[in-house]
Structure 1
């Protein structure tokens, strides 16, 4: 995969938000209306401790295509959202990383984090595409490092669709969070990337885990310097390559627990 550093919308964001509809007091159950629709390249929206980014950072490698991300609902306990895309050309290039990110206080050292708990239910339709579904977490020795990159990148893939591959080479298989994962390691610019993929090729449509377990494993077995790294971003989303599909997250939550 060619996976270049991408700019986050906290720098380049353009928001297209529609107002949240107020409940109508009648005998009909009110319809939940979308909180925001993001169609600009770095369209951004934030609410209730989460932020969303359309993040079409790799659109230049496509011969044609577009993508829009819709935030359905947000609360302190979790969110629901979707992204619909159509990308053609550059079949081995990532076009975007539409994502939901957890907001947190900057300056948290990784060694002081007790857990990074998360829960997600998602789906992809149709599935004849090239894409992945993955968590993406950046850490850096500088607690004020730009959120567009880090010193280290952790990716936990919940699905590898259409024969796409992560950065680097497979180095081992390990059991974490109740599943066996193939670990790939390689460079993304100046970052070192650790990518965990389901060893049996299955898709984790429902996933409930503590991602701190992955960092603890890397610190003990892969030389990750957990004592001098700070959490920079904690996101979950999808990287499309080619095709046309809708990624739907019916529920998602993430927490940084100290």
Structure 2
């Protein structure tokens, strides 16, 4: 599946996802569960006949954070994205210039044979509040960990590596998927847990003239893009977001 199609389908899932009981495992393409300020999606965006995937909610006991566990087995067509199991945070869209911080605490682990995947935070923006029903203008993706030959879209910037306060470093790629400008921060080493301000990534793009602060932040997701794996698991103990 081309990336253009992938983005369009994932955006569509937000509006047509099928709600399932909160205490049950869900395996459908569009199945989701709402918990507090979040929706957890199974999201079989490029579903293959050569495998299966199921997701279940992990109750955290608090509505300001969510947990989930996804298990999958996918084979064949290694270049094709099979799924993006994720949690989306519900918030009122906000102009970038009015945002002070996007605080995210995310604790996850993987198991089984995860042959090709990437764990990512995804931030989506559009030009103005009136454009909220249109395709997003920008997708800013923060790759915290990857396995196999996963590669970001576009070309790597020659500018220095972006460093965060926690000591992690990221290479930056910029491309276009036919619908959106795509900026990808790729960690130079596996990040085991994210606990920080995701707005620092956006601020860096603004300071280097790669992103306009007039954009409106419309969506925040965290999840794993799966290509191939065998009895692979991705478990999020807690995913918490706050836009300030």
1:11 aligns with 2:11: no
Confirm or deny: 8 A CA contact 2:38 2:90 kept in the other structure. yes
1:169-191 per-residue CA deviation (whole Å, 9 max, x = no partner) reads 21142212432111111112221
Q: Which residue pairs with 2:242 in the alignment?
A: 255
Q: Which residue pairs with 1:31 in the alignment?
A: none
State the Cα distance separating 1:16 from its structure 2 match: 2.3
> C-alpha separation between the residues in 2 aligned to 1:216 and 1:231?
13
Q: Which residue pairs with 2:187 in the alignment?
A: 198
Larger CA Rg, structure 1 vs 2: 1
1:60-84 per-residue CA deviation (whole Å, 9 max, x = no partner) reads xx35112111111152331111111
Structure 1 length as normaliser, TM-score? 0.85
Structure-2 change in CA distance of 1:145 and 1:87 (3 Å): farther
Confirm or deny: 8 A CA contact 1:7 1:148 kept in the other structure. no
Which of 163, 167, 181 matches 1:175? 163
Confirm or deny: 8 A CA contact 1:2 1:167 kept in the other structure. no
Confirm or deny: 8 A CA contact 1:67 1:83 kept in the other structure. yes
Which of 165, 186, 198 matches 2:175? 186
Q: Over aligned residues, Cα RMSD in angstroms?
A: 1.9
Structure 2 length as normaliser, TM-score? 0.89
- SS for the counterpart of 2:83 is coil
Equivalences for residues 68-107 of structure 1 within 5 A: 68-74=54-60, 75-106=62-93
1:209 aligns with 2:196: yes
- SS for the counterpart of 2:14 is helix
1:101-125 per-residue CA deviation (whole Å, 9 max, x = no partner) reads 111023x111101100001111111
State the Cα distance separating 1:253 from its structure 2 match: 0.7
State the Cα distance separating 1:205 from its structure 2 match: 1.4
> C-alpha separation between the residues in 2 aligned to 1:40 and 1:63?
13
Q: Which residue pairs with 2:140 in the alignment?
A: 154
Q: How many residues align?
A: 235
Which of 141, 152, 164 matches 2:150? 164
> C-alpha separation between the residues in 2 aligned to 1:73 and 1:175?
33
Of 42-51 and 236-245, more deviation after overlay is shown by 42-51
Unmatched 5+ stretches in structure 1: 19-34
- SS for the counterpart of 2:10 is coil
